[in-house]
Amino acid sequence: MGEQIAEGGEAHVYYHGATLIKSIGLDYFIQPVLALDRITLHNAYFPQTRMSVLGFGRTTTGDFQIIVEQPFIQGDCMEDEEIRIYAEQLGFELKNPRNWTYATPDIYLSDLHDENVIRSQAGTVFVVDCDIRINTPELHAGGRRVLTNTVRFNLS
């Protein structure tokens, strides 16, 4: 997999040349289906750091994990104020500075801190990691979306 270069609360990160390999644990995403939703949202909002799912597995303790590949980005960490300005330019409003949470009525974005947002030497901003999901009222960030697994068929 390559040399391990980081270990966070939810993932182990390995350097693999031009890419990173991340093994992301279940406790970060709660349920496997939500992991795929969050990866899809990340790819839609931050295509320059697109995650490709390589596979699924279990940790040594039996917990579910998803293995993804992502471009390796070199650059400098950004300061909180620079990240706030960047997020606002994307249409997000700062909701909670303690956990770096930003939101629109539809999208919830947290963990947007200096280790997860990088500026390249050319000045391009890259979000390499964040917690992104549909903004529901339960998140207490002004969300208006309601998630359901109910399917209705109109047979007319």
Identify the domain boundary among 22, 39, 72: 72
Report d(CA 16, CA 2) in Å as an integer. Answer: 5
Banded pLDDT at 151 (limits 50, 70, 90): confident
What is the pLDDT at residue 72?
A: 92
Domain that includes residue 9, residue range: 1-72
Report d(CA 130, CA 137) in Å as an integer. Answer: 20
Instruction: Write out the two tokens for 4.
Output: 């391990």
Secondary-structure percent of the chain, ordered helix, strand, coil, rounded to 5 = 25, 35, 40
Selected residue with higher pLDDT from 149 and 20: 20
Selected residue with higher pLDDT from 49 and 32: 49
User: pLDDT tens across 20-48, in order?
Assistant: 999 888 765 566 677 888 899 999 999 99
Average pLDDT over residues 108-132: 93
User: pLDDT tens across 78-110, in order?
Assistant: 999 999 999 999 999 999 999 999 999 999 999
Return the amino acid letter for 72: F
Is the predicted pLDDT of residue 132 greater than 80, yes or no?
yes
Query: Do 84 and 154 belong to one domain?
Result: yes
Q: Where residue 19 sits, what CATH number does that domain have?
A: 3.30.200.20
Element (H, E) at 45: helix 32-45
**CA gyration radius, the chain:** 17
Query: Do 60 and 114 belong to one domain?
Result: no
**Residue with structure tokens 């000045």?**
123
